[in-house]
Amino acid sequence: MTYRPGTLVRARPTDPDHHTRVPRYVRGHVGEIVERQGEWPLPDDSARGIAPPRVEAVYTVRFPARDLWGTGSHTVTVDLWESYLEEVSTDEP
């Protein structure tokens, strides 16, 4: 699966017991893919000593401040590994 720029994705609303690099403030929120940056080992695996770790694409994802905080006109971009994301169905309101 490769997400193209402009695709709407949701940061999975997970709360794992182990190390992860999904900032809490974007979990469950919808953002837009800006760029596919390249591929890197998944820190959730590396931190648990899983060898070899999964290697996944990392994406730049842009979130509108109003969706994250209920206020603000700025945007926040967050860099997220692919398994942190799920595609938002176009049928969703």
Partner 1 sequence: MSHDELPVAARVRRLEERVIAAGLTTGDELDALLDELLDGASPVNGARMVARAWTDPDYREALLADANTAAGSLGFATNGYRLCAVENTPTLHNVVVCTLCSCYPVTLLGPSPGWYRSFAYRSRVVREPRAVLAEFGLRLPDEVEIVVWDASAETRYLVVPRRPEGELPEEELAARVTRKGLIGTSAV
CB of 88 to partner 1, least distance (A): 20
Q: Which stretch binds partner 1 (CB under 8 A): 1-9, 15-23, 46-54, 85-93?
A: 15-23
DSSP secondary structure letter of residue 24: G
Contact 86, 14 (CB under 8 A): no
- Candidates 23, 27, 67, 83: give the one binding partner 1 (CB under 8 A): 23
- Candidates 38, 49, 52, 93: give the one binding partner 1 (CB under 8 A): 38
Q: What is the C-alpha R_g of the chain?
A: 14
**Interface mask toward partner 1 for 46-75; x: CB under 8 A:** ------------x-x-x--x--xx--xxxx
Contact residues: partner 1, CB under 8 A: 21-23, 25, 37-38, 40, 58, 60, 62, 65, 68-69, 72-81
